Amino acid sequence: MGAMDHIRNIVILTGAGISAESGLRTFRADDGLWEDHPVEQVATLQGFHRDPDLVQRFYDERRAQVMAANPNPAHLALGRLDMAWKPSRNRGELLIVTQNIDDLHERGGAARVLHMHGEALSAWCTMCDARHRWTGSLRGAPPCPACGQAALRPDIVWFGEMPYQMDRIYRAIGNCDLFVSIGTSGAVYPAAGFVQEAGRVGAGTLELNLEESLGSRFFSETRLGKASEIVPAWVEEMLAS
């Protein structure tokens, strides 16, 4: 009976660090996005009301960067794990909860992905509540394809707004045997509090990050390194267990 045999259900939290090697900037590094884009201007509802064109331009740029980026070995490894880790294969449930707005997990082969902070390639109509796959610009107030109103905004959870599907996330954490955090600084709640939730239900907690994070002390194990190297190594371990 190996140490990992009891692990059935896994929740994996990812942050900007997993996409850094795909060329997408993180937020809080020296060259992070928040260094040259004041959060209150581009990532709050108040900022959007104050200057919608500034905000739409900011997310147009990020949308273009996401489309130009490609999954890296960390995304591909999680795609392999997602395909193999199923109850039908004598494993358990798996859920990737990402704070990232890029679609690199899905393009890396993962299906069970939950975007708690929204998606760059999605536009949300604040009049009819419809969501639309969006790859172009949102500047100039294009009409909503469903209701025709000029009320589209980036489908992004801004500071001060409630992240998506929190019930589903807490249910998955409540049932997990292993909680893994990849490429996140632990600076933003509620995501930064998930490790303690997992600890409370007796789950194992593993952190994979380039450097110590604000939440490292809450993890039973921390492995430091680049996601493109340490994530595939961890996935091989899981699939060999």
- Residues in the site for ligand APR, rule: CB under 6 A? 15-17, 20-21, 26-29, 32, 99, 117, 183-185, 187-188, 209-211, 213, 226-227
Q: How far is the CB of 109 from ligand APR (least distance, A)?
A: 19
Q: How far is the CB of 205 from ligand APR (least distance, A)?
A: 16
Taking the C-alpha atoms of residue 208 and residue 214, their distance in angstroms, rounded to an integer, is 13
Taking the C-alpha atoms of residue 196 and residue 40, their distance in angstroms, rounded to an integer, is 28
Query: Whose Cβ is closer to ligand APR: residue 22's or residue 56's?
Result: 22
75 is a catalytic site residue: no
Tokens of 36: 């040259």
Query: Whose Cβ is closer to ligand APR: residue 56's or residue 209's?
Result: 209
Query: Whose Cβ is closer to ligand APR: residue 227's or residue 235's?
Result: 227
Question: SS3 for 10?
Answer: strand
Q: At what angle do helices 227-240 and 73-84 cross, to 10 degrees?
A: 20
Which of these is catalytic: 37, 49, 117, 132? 117
Q: How far is the CB of 21 from ligand APR (least distance, A)?
A: 5
Taking the C-alpha atoms of residue 93 and residue 81, their distance in angstroms, rounded to an integer, is 11
Max intra-chain CA distance, the chain:
61
For the annotated catalytic residues, the residue numbers are 117
